[in-house]
């Protein structure tokens, strides 16, 4: 337990120390690097991930895919619950605790979303959001290999959530743990198949579209409304070659 608390504290210090890497006027100082990672993700997605997700969606019947999604959503509720408590959102924590108990028992380990049928709301939360709630700035926009859009703060938050708050991490068998993570990733990607095609068709520069959409969504998650990213200075982006969608 001491090691885990030490790891969380280290992530907090790291997030605090590097949250000032980007200025208010330029939230994407790493754009050159980010576009390179974005293109890598796009190539990997189109060559490998998207076909696998498409096959997963085509082969498995809808009820099975729904059960798989419900299972991983239920596991994610535990992560949200911990972050609700850390944010002192006790009402939301009670809702998520109720969902976790109901779906893990009556819902057969989360395969059936009984809580939603009963009208129990779900409140998503993560450690990146928790850091933001406690005043840690987002830092520079960052595109992560295979993961996609993030920020310095959210990357630190993702690390904490994955290593300490994700129930999958506590699976004793490494092989099973890796298989669960892979299945979760494929299931998530299969849900965004139509959306990825839409962005490809609609956005003049999918990189900018994804960046602004992500930053505004995260701003709303932390502050309840978009406050910081309404006015991006994209004058330098007009000459960029459009990148593909992840």
Q: Is residue 154 part of a domain?
A: yes
Q: How far is CA 128 from CA 19, 112, 146, 179, in A?
A: 12, 28, 18, 25
Q: Which two tokens stand for residue 99?
A: 């969902």
Nearest to 136 by CA among 78, 87, 85, 208: 87
Contact 77, 89 (CB under 8 A): no
Q: Is residue 245 part of a domain?
A: no
Is a pLDDT exceeding 90 seen at residue 20? no
Q: Is residue 237 part of a domain?
A: no
- E-only strand ranges, 81-173: 141-144, 148-151
| Domain that includes residue 185, residue range | 2-19+32-224
Q: Is residue 193 part of a domain?
A: yes
Q: Which residues contact 217 (CB under 8 A, 6 or more apart)?
A: none
Maximal CA-CA distance, the chain: 56
Residues 89-126: pLDDT tens digits?
999 999 999 999 999 999 999 999 999 999 999 999 99
Residues 45-55: pLDDT tens digits?
999 999 999 99
CA pair distance 155, 159, nearest whole angstrom: 6
The domain tally of the chain equals 1
Question: Residue 46: what are its φ and ψ, rounded to 5°?
Answer: -70, -30
Q: How far is CA 67 from CA 80, 111, 194, 221, in A?
A: 20, 4, 20, 27
Q: Is residue 27 part of a domain?
A: no
Q: Is residue 244 part of a domain?
A: no
pTM score, whole prediction = 0.81
Residue 181: the pLDDT is: 96
Q: Is residue 43 part of a domain?
A: yes
DSSP structural state of residue 192: T
CA pair distance 91, 231, nearest whole angstrom: 34
Residue showing tokens 């395969």? 111
Residues 140-175: pLDDT tens digits?
999 999 999 999 999 999 999 999 999 999 999 999
Q: Is residue 219 part of a domain?
A: yes
Chain-centre distance for alpha carbon 16: 20
């Amino acid at each position: 337990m001491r090691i885990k608390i030490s790891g969380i504290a280290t992530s907090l210090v790291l997030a605090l120390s590097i949250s000032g890497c980007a200025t208010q006027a330029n939230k994407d100082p790493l754009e050159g690097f980010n576009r390179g990672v974005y293109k890598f993700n796009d190539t990997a997605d189109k060559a490998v991930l998207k076909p696998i997700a498409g096959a997963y969606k085509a082969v498995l019947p809808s009820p099975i895919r729904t059960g798989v999604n419900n299972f991983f959503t239920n596991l994610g509720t535990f992560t949200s619950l911990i972050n609700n408590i850390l944010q002192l959102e006790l009402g939301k924590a009670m809702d998520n605790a109720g969902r976790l108990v109901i779906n893990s028992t009556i819902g057969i380990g989360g395969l059936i979303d009984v809580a939603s049928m009963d009208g129990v709301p779900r409140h998503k939360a993560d450690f990146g959001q928790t850091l933001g709630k406690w005043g840690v700035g987002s830092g520079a926009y960052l595109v992560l290999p295979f993961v996609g859009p993030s920020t310095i703060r959210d990357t630190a938050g993702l690390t904490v959530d994955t290593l300490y708050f994700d129930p999958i991490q506590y699976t004793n068998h490494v092989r099973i743990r890796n298989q669960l993570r892979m299945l979760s990733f494929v299931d998530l990607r299969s849900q965004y198949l139509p959306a990825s095609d839409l962005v490809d068709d609609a956005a003049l520069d999918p990189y900018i579209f994804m960046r602004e959409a992500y930053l505004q969504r995260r701003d709303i998650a932390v502050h309840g409304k978009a406050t910081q990213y309404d006015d991006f200075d994209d004058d330098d982006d007009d000459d960029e070659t459009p990148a593909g969608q992840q």
